[in-house]
Amino acid sequence: MPPSLLILHVALPLVTSLGLLSGCATTSALQTSQPTASELPPAATISAENEFVPVVRYGRYTLIELVPELSQRDLLQQVIEISIPPMLDANVGDAMHHVLLRSGYRLCDDVAANALYRLPLPAAHLHLGPLMLRDTLLTLAGPAWNLSVDDAARQVCFTRHPTPTPPPPGPTSAATATSPNNAVASFEPPEEARP
């Protein structure tokens, strides 16, 4: 190999690698002002108070937290999809017993709620879900009933909404009868026109 070619063959890769290395070592003048720790936003700082969450490897790429799910802690948050067995005389009480069958709760024996339990079951309630258990019970009861839960006894009770009482009819004063804001005003003829 001629000496000029040998120099080119060795010198060219050497010069190229030195150029690359020197390019990596240079810093620009714009990077000289680095933000200090006090200038960083609070979200960028790392907290040393990280809470320990126990996990277990499940499969090759999956880690699962060892904490109970919300529906396991609050049983009324469990999601259910239910089909009530078709019966000719199905009532709301039968449907509620069926919904609560494996939920961990039971209906309370309240005399006032028996009126609700004896109501016929609408056809629209034969298949419900997916809904949370609380929403399913409220759907079956309807808007006239309040749901109350005794978590210690795991009982579900229903009470009737208080019915609003209309104000008693009272005598209207002359000022309210002649008010322009009233839609209905009383008209009394003058005394001369009375018989």
Residues of the chain short of pLDDT 70, as ranges, are 1-12, 14-15, 17-49, 164-167, 170-195
DSSP secondary structure, 72-126, as one string: HHSGGG-EEEEEPPP-TT-BHHHHHHHHTTTTS-EE---TTTHHHHTSBPPGGGS
* Residue 18, pLDDT score: 65
Architecture (CATH level 2) of domain 75-160? 3-Layer(bab) Sandwich (3.55)
Domain ranges of the chain: 75-160
pLDDT of the residue at 128: 94
Predicted pLDDT of residue 53:
82
Q: Is-above-0.75 flag for pTM?
A: no
| d(C-alpha 148, C-alpha 159), whole Å | 8
pLDDT score, position 161: 86
Predicted local distance difference test score (pLDDT) of residue 117: 95
